[in-house]
Structure 1
Amino acid sequence: MPPIYYLALGFAFTLGACIGSFLNVCIYRIPAGESIVSPPSRCPNCGAGIRWYQNIPILSYLLLGGKCASCKVRISPRYPLVEALTGLLFVLVLYYFGISWATPVYWLFVATLVVITFIDLDHQIIPDVISLPGIPIGFACSFAIPWISWSDSLLGILIGGGSLFLVAFVYELLTKKEGMGGGDIKLLAMLGAFLGWKAVLPIIFISSLLGSLVGVPVMLLKKADSKLAIPFGPFLAAGALIFLFWGRAIIHWYLSFFVT
């Protein structure tokens, strides 16, 4: 492959890692109701400001030995993990979609999923401030994606949000307990907006499968605590990413069983 190809992938990773640094701010501040713009980045322990050369994605964490430069308290390794994960996802988007309008759209999409995943893991919530604007944004972005029409996106919103709402309604009707959070319903509507209605059922299937593979062992380790709360948002996000990168191949593989 030509050197320019590797330069482009390197640029994508660097851009993603820098975006990931900002996503760490969003993950920490949005649930707390704080501004993601000001004040500038600071140590959550001592409150000391973080200078620009101490805020270089991944590299600064390694050079500082994973500790705050001021108070020497250990910094969570999740910060560089989020940066590296976002960089890797940006590389995958560029690799699969090339230089096209789809690439910046899906860069925005995967960055949003990273924030939602870690907030849901920490607080068991999916903030409306992310998912609700994501629905019209995903619909608007459908006009830039040749293989997703505006009608596909609109149906994705209706089927995505409607299917989980129906499941939640029936479950609550039968058990008198809430089994599906409203945040998950809004998230699937957003996923349908970005990926179209054909993605909804595969995402539900994949996320449910992943949730079972992870949730059942966790519940067993927790002595079969049936009330153990396991957030479903990260599994929906994982299902969406799997469909984004390998959805067409999965659908073709599945349909091959019915074609003679």
Structure 2
Amino acid sequence: MSVELNTLNIIIGIFIFAFGVSIGSFLNVVAYRVPQKISLVSPRSFCTHCKKNIPNIDLIPIIGFFLSKGKCSNCKTKISYQYPFVELLTGILTLFVFFKFLTPLDLINIIPYFNYDNSIQFGKFHFTNFVPFFTSLWIIYTGIALSIIDIKQRILPDFITIPGTIIGFIIGSLNPELGWLESLIGIVAGAGGLYGISSLYKLIRNKDGMGMGDVKYLGFLGAVLGWKGIVFTLFYASITGAIVGIIWGIITKKGLKEAIPFGPFLGFGAFLVSTFGVEIAHYLFG
């Protein structure tokens, strides 16, 4: 790798990471405000304890947490480590999926430039190169917000899942490897399949197994992954959910009596499919 290309990778990487942590900061806002039915636009960021506005310097992702020593500058209430963790995680995942699916040259090719005769020339932009990147990014960002909400509130709000399904359908329709029909089938298979499983569980056990939020979320994921992706998503989610559930039951000494939110595992399964689907399929089927 040339020195120039290596330098370009570092510069673009810094910007992508900064973008990711900024999105992570916004996802923290979404995770807090959506269940409280507070506008995402107004009021500006405030301490959840004393309700005072947070100083601008403390709003800088990750850095602001340490500048404030992890406390509200007004009431001195401790700030949850969730905030810098989510920001850092989002930054790392954004950086990872960017370099997995794209290169800095893909970004540069988007920028128009002037020819010697002052005519505008666009670079060699290939939209299809960006589809896997946007798909994975969409699943990561929505998955992080929904996971936080599901863990804390045990809900997967329609405010995210329903618009997310519509946007997911658009992304899926633009994906040449998926198309609008398979995206639509994915929505029906995801929501309908999980609803059927949940109904069967309730019929046998006489109690709810999964909420409608999980049903809508899997339909949402089906829009961007298609029905095949949904099968693997549900498989990975079930395996990881079972493992974590058993470990959690041992730690809390409650066995399998305590239900755990399924949303985070659906998000994790979808992340594996969208980001490593090709590698996993190659490993399993050759």
Query: Normalised by the size of structure 1, how large is the TM-score?
Result: 0.93
User: Which residue of structure 1 lines up, in the alignment, with residue 174 of structure 2?
Assistant: 144
Matches within 5 A, 1:27-38: 27-38=31-42
1:61-72 alignment runs, 5 A limit: 61-72=65-76
**Superposition pairs of residues 48-127 of structure 1, within 5 angstroms:** 48-98=52-102, 99=106, 100-102=129-131, 103-127=133-157
Q: Give the conservation status (yes or no) of the 8 Å contact 1:188–1:200.
A: yes
Partner residue of 1:128? 158
**After superposition, what is the alpha-carbon deviation per residue over 1:175-208, rounded to whole angstroms, capped at 9, x for unaligned?**
1111111111111111111122221111111111
Residue 200 (structure 2) aligned to one of 170, 188, 198: 170
Question: Could you tell me how far 1:225 is from its partner in structure 2?
Answer: 4.6
Which residue of the partner structure matches residue 189 of structure 1?
A: 219
Q: Which moved more, 1:58-67 or 1:206-215?
A: 58-67
Size of the aligned set, in residue pairs, is: 256
Q: Which moved more, 1:101-110 or 1:237-246?
A: 101-110
Greater displacement, 118-127 / 61-70 = 61-70
Determine if contact 1:101/1:144 at 8 Å carries over to the other structure: no
1:241 aligns with 2:271: yes
- How far apart, in 1, do the equivalents of 2:28 and 2:56 lie? 15
Q: Is this contact kept in 2: 1:101–1:145, CA < 8 A?
A: no
Are the counterparts in 2 of residues 27 and 115 from structure 1 also a CA contact under 8 Å?
A: yes
Q: What residue is the counterpart of 1:218 in the other structure?
A: 248
| Letter of the structure 2 residue corresponding to residue 66 of structure 1 | G
1:195 counterpart SS class: helix
Tell me which amino acid in the other structure corresponds to 1:36. L
SS at match of 2:36: coil
Runs of 4+ in 1 over 4 A off after TM superposition: none
The amino acid across from 2:31 in the alignment is: I
Question: What does residue 44 of structure 1 align with?
Answer: 48
> 93-102 or 147-156: which moved more?
93-102
Q: What is the identity, as a one-letter code, of the residue corresponding to 2:17?
A: F
Q: Residue type of the partner of 1:37? A: V
Deviation at 1:105, TM superposition (A): 4.7
Q: Which runs of 5+ in 2 are unaligned?
A: 107-128
